[in-house]
Amino acid sequence: MSKPRPKILIVDDNEVMRALLRGILRNEEYEIVGEARNGAVALEMTDLLRPDIVCMDVEMPEMGGLEALQHIKSTRPETAVVMVTGNASIDNVKVAIQNGACAFIVKPFNAAKVVDTLQRAYAGRRPLTV
């Protein structure tokens, strides 16, 4: 009997970034259950789809990733949230970790590090910024 594949929601306002993550995860042991362009849609999709991991950009229009993180962790604390950013400022990292993010992935992506970070997030370990 095979073990269940972790369900992932990808959240980024940039279609190219979503496609890159999709491509990295396509051949891995993950099920991409949905994609969202902003934090507001991510909240709805998290409630509806109940992903194991939300992989979410920090800066997006309408509702950014840090605000969405707070809502997700307050309603679904068991969901692992991995923040994605092109600018891992100390302030953003502190706020995200204080609000329950378990890791940061820094753009541009390194496929092996993305997969390792998501594996660790799913296993409940707090990986470092990659």
Which tens digits make up the pLDDT trace of 39-72? 999 999 999 999 999 999 999 999 999 999 999 9
* Exposure class string for 43-63: b at 16+ Cβ within 10 A, else e: bebbeeeebbbbbbbbebeee
pTM beyond 0.85: yes
User: How many CB atoms lie under 10 A from the CB of residue 11?
Assistant: 30
In the chain, the domains with their CATH numbers are: 27-123 (3.40.50.2300)
Predicted pLDDT of residue 93: 84
Structure tokens at 130: 């990659």
**Average pLDDT of the residues in 110-121:** 93
